[in-house]
Amino acid sequence: LLFRILDFPNRILLRSSHGIIVLGRDMKGLIAGKVSDGPDDRIRVIPNWAMDEVVSALPEVGTETVRERMGIRKDSFLLVYNGNHGRTHFLEVWQAVAEELSDDPRFQFLFAGEGSGKARFAEAVEGSGLKNIHLSSFVPREDLVPLLRSADLLLLSFCPGMSGVSVPSRMYNLMASARPVLAIADTESEVAQVLEEEDCGWTFSPEGSPKEIAKKVAPLLRELVKNRDRLAEKGKNGRKAVLEKYTREKVVERYREVLC
């Protein structure tokens, strides 16, 4: 009832707007249902962009320092999650994946960030006794590129039903770092669509329990640790897509087209 009360003035505002800018195609579908019964040409999709320093950084800058600082072996297959540890970010699925892969010491997981779900996640990790999960707070902005480039694979995850509600800007930073992305996200989400279109990662549905999802994800990771050329190829694809579509200059130009 509270949501319906709050949503009513929001719908009025949207319907009275001359134009609406959304961050993804999934968000366009959600907003379209609030403003009209059919197609609405007022709604334009303009994505977020990758940070300038990630786009301009040299390809392999500082990749070893993060592993050394965290006590992670250089030959490990490192999966990095960087960003907000919120209630909607489904971090428990990565704990389940780490448990599924705990028999192979090459697989290591690094989580950097804070948020409303961080304390619960940290407590769960400590209680599990897992030795392949490393936790860190947010890294300084100048350390973002070394953190991302230290990874073999970068992680994104959302609980079911977040399609159209959240389009993570950090996805474009991950792509710009020339590292592939492994996502747990709704199949119709902007995340899933971009990763498939640009051939720069993999997406698994968040439907099911964390253990059920982990059993689907683990075989892919066991395959990738033996064939790292696939990682390099998809990483290059992601960076190429950012340079062509998702830099600040490219996105600002799209805003200029709408506003001018």
Q: How far apart are alpha carbons 15 and 23 in whole angstroms?
A: 18
Residue 165 near residue 30 (C-beta atoms within 8 A): yes
Give me the phi and psi of 215, to 5 degrees please: -70, -20
CA angle 245, 151, 119 (to 5 degrees): 100
Within 8 A by CB and 6+ apart from 97, the residues are 109, 213, 214, 217, 218, 221
In single-letter form, the type of residue at position 33 comes to G
Q: How far apart are alpha carbons 62 and 80 in whole angstroms?
A: 15
Q: How far apart are alpha carbons 215 and 211 in whole angstroms?
A: 6
In single-letter form, the type of residue at position 57 comes to A
User: Which pLDDT score is estimated for 59?
Assistant: 60
Instruction: List, for the chain, all residue ranges whose pLDDT scores fall below the cut of 70.
Output: 38-39, 58-64
User: Which pLDDT score is estimated for 228?
Assistant: 87
User: Which pLDDT score is estimated for 69?
Assistant: 86
User: Which pLDDT score is estimated for 127?
Assistant: 97
The 3-state DSSP class for residue 110 equals strand
CA atoms lying within 13 Å on the CB side of residue 65? 11
Residue whose token pair is 């993570």 = 168
User: Which pLDDT score is estimated for 36?
Assistant: 77
User: Which pLDDT score is estimated for 63?
Assistant: 62
Please give the model's pTM, rounded to 2 decimal places. Answer: 0.93
User: Which pLDDT score is estimated for 64?
Assistant: 67
Q: Which two tokens stand for residue 128?
A: 């599990």
Residue whose token pair is 């705990």 = 102
Dihedral of CA atoms 15, 161, 222, 202 in degrees, nearest 10, equals -20
Residue whose token pair is 């540890």 = 85
Q: How far apart are alpha carbons 176 and 241 in whole angstroms?
A: 8
